[in-house]
């Protein structure tokens, strides 16, 4: 076995891979990272000279669906990158160590590789009641995150919990769940989704490995490459949308024909993700392909923008089952009633005023005698 | 029995041509935007074809909405420009209460026209101070609707203008929030139109100064003997020509 800080090429060599196989692997990595085959020399250079970066994977308020998604990366080669060729030093879910041993591994990594390790965070951080809702080894999540983030080479927020708070952060947010980019004073790569797509996760990590820098982010900290387009933009049902052919109820003819799910509350038009391009489970399908609308799981506040099966969310403060249109229509009716009342009052109150004007009006026969001149 | 002397009227040219043009372009754009926006928010069933390639009506509705949105934006910007170069009735001063006199007039309008605790009285020949303030507020809503609309539009356009509004999206959490508020703000336009049209009719009915037709021809009328409230703008309001007598 090669030393823990050996390069990926050294590691592969020690396992008996040929140089040709190594370059072939680099080509996959280059494509995954979005630099294309033209970027191959860079990848080869990085993988043979740079020591494989240690990785710390923290779990806070989450359900581990991100990890579950991640280990189903459809590219076995890429999965290899992460489990064999990254030095995954600390991750509660997958590590063999436990208790003090595990904590020791975390601290060793932070002490021995300052500025080198990649910090992956899964889950939000509760701030309520001094953070007692999530503690590990007697320390609060907030504490652990602050320490781990300080010397990390890069920080990635896995999933909606870490990126925008997800369900814990939904109103009324009893634990004060907070996305991590609000807690640490440095750029965070947000990879939202509940969970994020496995291939997107591996691609983001591969980008860091290959390029040694963050991918291009949008104004919400998400990699443009995967979150630059809406699910709607590349949805295979999009032509039905433009044609105005919609599913009207779950068991109608339109549903059988595979029409657009827009009227069933599909969040595809307001959700930025790569689902309709990469799809899930080795490119098998994605929610809309399975006949269910997108619920917008990679968007901020998606739990608060419900119900999932209606186009517009409920109006906060107006009770259940009130859309903006119902509130607006009620306001319009009230305004109409007010105007009618005003018209009646005007005719009563201003009667003499109006009559005075009518009486003061010039008669056609008077023009020429008393008219103005 | 009847007061003898028939009143003398002045013709006042209150709405310049660009102001009238803005009014009707804007009204048409808002009407188109509200109708198409409603359809986009809740498309009706119109499946006379089974295959997507056979029809494109929803795409057409969206195209009309976006085109009208552009017209709305251009008209809005042009009107703001005119608020700095137009005549006294079109100037920004007329719309933003910044003098004691304007605030007094707002109170008077509330007393005479809205709550009618006072029966008679007439106001400035252009917009009265309360109307001016209302239009200022409505311009803020226009700006809101433009910002949210173009922020949503930015994801489907490579044009420069929509990209100016992408910063709006994070303020609402995401496109879903922007869409909700863009939709909710449409109700302002509906309520505004109801009240606006009612008040035009009201003023015409009670005052007989040609309020309704003024937005077509530009003219309002003022009785010499009741022209009590002089416009306090920097340029004096000179009624330029007496009414034609026949």
Closest residue in chain B to residue A221, using alpha carbons only: B170
DSSP H/E element including B234: none
Residue B229 — pLDDT band, cuts 50, 70, 90?
A: very low
Whether B67 maps to a domain, the answer reads yes
Best of B49, B175, B222, B244 to mutate (most A CBs within 10 Å, chain A): B175
Instruction: Name the residue among A175, A201, A176 with its Cα closest to residue A298.
Output: A201
Q: B47 CB contacts (<8 Å, ≥6 apart)?
A: A244, A245, A246, A254
Average pLDDT, chain B: 86
Q: Which residues of B touch A271 (CB under 8 A)?
A: 174-176
Q: Which of residues 196-235 of A touch B (CB under 8 A)?
A: 219-220, 229-230, 233
User: Which of A83-97, A143-157, B9-23, B38-52 has the lowest average pLDDT?
Assistant: A83-97
Q: Does A324 sit within 8 Å of B245, measured CB to CB?
A: no
Of B8, B62, B184, the CB nearest to A328: B184
Does ipTM exceed 0.90? no
Instruction: Name the residue among B79, B65, B88 with its Cα closest to residue B25.
Output: B79
DSSP H/E element including A189: strand A189-191
Q: Are A335 and B195 contacting, i.e. CB atoms less than 8 angstroms apart?
A: yes
Closest residue in chain B to residue A220, using alpha carbons only: B170
- The number of domains in chain B is 1
What pLDDT, on the 0 to 100 scale, is given for residue A3? 56
Whether B84 maps to a domain, the answer reads yes
What pLDDT, on the 0 to 100 scale, is given for residue B61? 96
What pLDDT, on the 0 to 100 scale, is given for residue B163? 93
Whether B4 maps to a domain, the answer reads no
Of B116, B180, B198, the CB nearest to A339: B198
What pLDDT, on the 0 to 100 scale, is given for residue B239? 40
Reading the block at residue A352, the tokens are 């003499």
The CATH code belonging to domain A53-226 is 3.40.50.700
Whether B127 maps to a domain, the answer reads yes
Q: Does A354 sit within 8 Å of B205, measured CB to CB?
A: yes
Q: A82 CB contacts (<8 Å, ≥6 apart)?
A: A55, A70, A73, A88, A202, A205
Averaged pLDDT for residues B113-117: 86
pLDDT at B237 over 60: no
Q: What percent of chain B has pLDDT over 70?
A: 86
What pLDDT, on the 0 to 100 scale, is given for residue B2? 47
Q: Are A64 and A122 contacting, i.e. CB atoms less than 8 angstroms apart?
A: yes
- Give residue-wise pLDDT tens across range A246-303: 999 999 989 999 999 999 999 999 999 999 998 998 889 999 999 999 999 999 999 9
Place of tokens 């891979």: A17
Instruction: Name the residue among A66, A80, A70, A95 with its Cα closest to residue A29.
Output: A80
Would you call B241 an interface residue with chain A, using a CB distance cutoff of 8 Å? no
- Give residue-wise pLDDT tens across range A107-135: 999 999 898 899 999 999 999 999 999 99
**Residue B235 is part of which domain span?**
9-43+55-242
pLDDT at A365 over 80: no
Counting one residue from chain A and one from chain B, the pairs whose CB atoms sit within 8 A come to: 170
Reading the block at residue A53, the tokens are 């970066």
- Topology given in CATH for the domain delimited by A231-290: Cytochrome-c3 Hydrogenase; Chain A, domain 2 (4.10.480)
Would you call B158 an interface residue with chain A, using a CB distance cutoff of 8 Å? no
Higher-pLDDT residue of A207, A176: A176
Whether B48 maps to a domain, the answer reads no
- Give residue-wise pLDDT tens across range A296-351: 999 999 999 888 998 888 777 777 777 888 889 999 999 999 999 999 998 888 88
- How close does chain A come to B94, measured CA to CA in Å? 26
- Give residue-wise pLDDT tens across range B210-228: 899 999 999 998 877 665 4
Q: Are A264 and A308 contacting, i.e. CB atoms less than 8 angstroms apart?
A: no
CA distance A25 to A44: 9
Task: Point out which residues pair with A91 in neighbouring strands.
Answer: A57
Q: A210 CB contacts (<8 Å, ≥6 apart)?
A: A29, A30, A33, A35, A39, A42, A43, A46, A47
CA distance B196 to B23: 12
How many CA atoms, within 13 angstroms, populate the side-chain half-sphere of residue B117? Answer: 6
Strand pairing report for A118-122 and A54-59: parallel
Would you call A45 an interface residue with chain B, using a CB distance cutoff of 8 Å? no
Whether B1 maps to a domain, the answer reads no
pLDDT at A78 over 80: no
Coil/strand/helix, residue B230: coil
What pLDDT, on the 0 to 100 scale, is given for residue B113? 87
Whether B3 maps to a domain, the answer reads no
Closest residue in chain A to residue B115, using alpha carbons only: A342
CA distance A130 to B138: 45
Would you call B48 an interface residue with chain A, using a CB distance cutoff of 8 Å? no
Q: Does B6 sit within 8 Å of A357, measured CB to CB?
A: no
pLDDT at B36 over 90: yes
DSSP H/E element including A83: none
- Give residue-wise pLDDT tens across range A198-210: 889 888 888 888 8
Averaged pLDDT for residues B78-91: 94
Q: Which residues of B touch A311 (CB under 8 A)?
A: 41-42
Q: A321 CB contacts (<8 Å, ≥6 apart)?
A: A314
We report the CATH number of the domain holding residue B73 as: 1.20.950.20
Instruction: Name the residue among A59, A41, A60 with its Cα closest to residue A49.
Output: A41
Averaged pLDDT for residues B105-111: 90
Q: A1 CB contacts (<8 Å, ≥6 apart)?
A: A14
Reading the block at residue B93, the tokens are 């001063």
First-to-final CA distance of chain B: 25
């Amino acid at each position: 076995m090669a030393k823990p800080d050996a390069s990926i090429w050294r590691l592969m060599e020690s396992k008996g891979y040929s140089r040709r196989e190594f370059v072939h692997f680099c080509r996959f990595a280059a494509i995954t990272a979005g630099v294309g085959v033209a970027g191959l020399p860079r990848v080869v250079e990085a993988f043979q000279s740079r020591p494989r970066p240690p990785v710390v994977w923290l779990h806070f308020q989450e359900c581990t669906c991100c990890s579950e998604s991640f280990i189903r990366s459809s590219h076995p080669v890429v999965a290899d990158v992460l489990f064999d060729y990254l030095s995954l030093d600390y991750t509660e879910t997958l590590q063999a160590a436990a208790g003090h041993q595990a904590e020791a591994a975390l601290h060793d990594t932070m002490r021995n590789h300052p500025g080198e390790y990649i910090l992956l965070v899964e889950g939000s951080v509760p701030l309520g009641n001094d953070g007692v809702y999530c503690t590990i080894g007697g320390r609060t999540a907030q504490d652990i995150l602050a320490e781990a983030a300080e010397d990390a080479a890069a920080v990635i927020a896995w999933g909606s919990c870490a990126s925008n708070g997800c369900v814990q952060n939904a109103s009324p947010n009893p634990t004060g769940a907070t996305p991590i980019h609000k807690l640490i004073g440095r750029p965070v790569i947000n990879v939202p989704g509940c969970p994020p797509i496995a291939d997107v996760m591996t691609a983001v990590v591969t980008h860091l490995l290959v390029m040694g820098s963050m991918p291009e982010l949008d104004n919400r900290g998400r990699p443009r490459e995967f979150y630059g387009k809406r699910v709607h933009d590349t949805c295979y049902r999009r032509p039905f949308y433009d044609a105005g052919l919609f599913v009207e109820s779950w068991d109608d003819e339109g549903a059988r024909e595979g029409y657009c799910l827009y009227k069933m509350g599909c969040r595809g038009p307001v959700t930025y993700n790569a689902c309709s391009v990469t799809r899930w489970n080795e490119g098998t399908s994605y929610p809309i392909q399975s006949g269910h609308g997108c619920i917008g799981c990679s968007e901020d506040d998606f739990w608060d923008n419900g119900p999932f099966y209606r186009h517009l969310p409920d109006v906060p403060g107006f009770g259940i089952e009130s859309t903006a249109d119902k509130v607006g229509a009620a306001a319009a009716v009230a305004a109409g009633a007010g105007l009618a009342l005003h018209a009646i009052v005007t005719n009563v109150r201003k009667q003499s005023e109006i009559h005075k004007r009518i009486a003061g009006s010039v008669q056609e026969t008077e023009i020429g005698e008393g008219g103005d001149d | 029995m009847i007061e003898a002397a028939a009143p003398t009227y002045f013709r006042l040219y209150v709405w310049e041509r660009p102001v009238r043009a803005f009014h009707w372009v804007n009204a048409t754009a808002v009407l188109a935007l509200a109708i198409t926006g409603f359809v986009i928010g809740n498309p009706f069933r119109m499946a006379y074809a089974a295959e997507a390639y056979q029809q494109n009506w929803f795409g057409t509705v969206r195209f009309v909405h976006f085109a009208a949105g552009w017209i709305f934006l251009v008209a809005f910007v042009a009107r703001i420009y005119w608020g700095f170069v137009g005549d006294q009735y079109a100037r920004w001063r007329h719309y933003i209460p910044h003098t004691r006199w304007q605030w007094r007039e707002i109170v008077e309008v509330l007393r005479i026209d809205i709550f009618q605790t006072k029966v008679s009285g007439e106001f400035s020949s252009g917009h009265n101070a309360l109307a001016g303030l209302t239009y200022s507020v409505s311009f803020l809503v226009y700006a809101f609707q433009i910002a949210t609309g173009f922020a949503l539009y930015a994801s489907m356009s490579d044009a420069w203008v929509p990209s100016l509004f992408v910063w709006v999206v994070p303020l609402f959490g995401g496109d879903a929030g922007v869409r909700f508020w863009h939709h909710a703000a449409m109700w302002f336009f509906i309520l505004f139109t109801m009240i606006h049209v009612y008040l035009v009719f009201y003023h015409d009915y009670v005052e007989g100064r040609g309020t309704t037709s003024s937005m077509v021809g530009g003219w309002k009328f003022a009785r010499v003997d009741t022209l009590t409230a002089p416009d306090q703008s920097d340029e004096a309001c000179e009624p330029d020509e007496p009414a034609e007598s026949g």
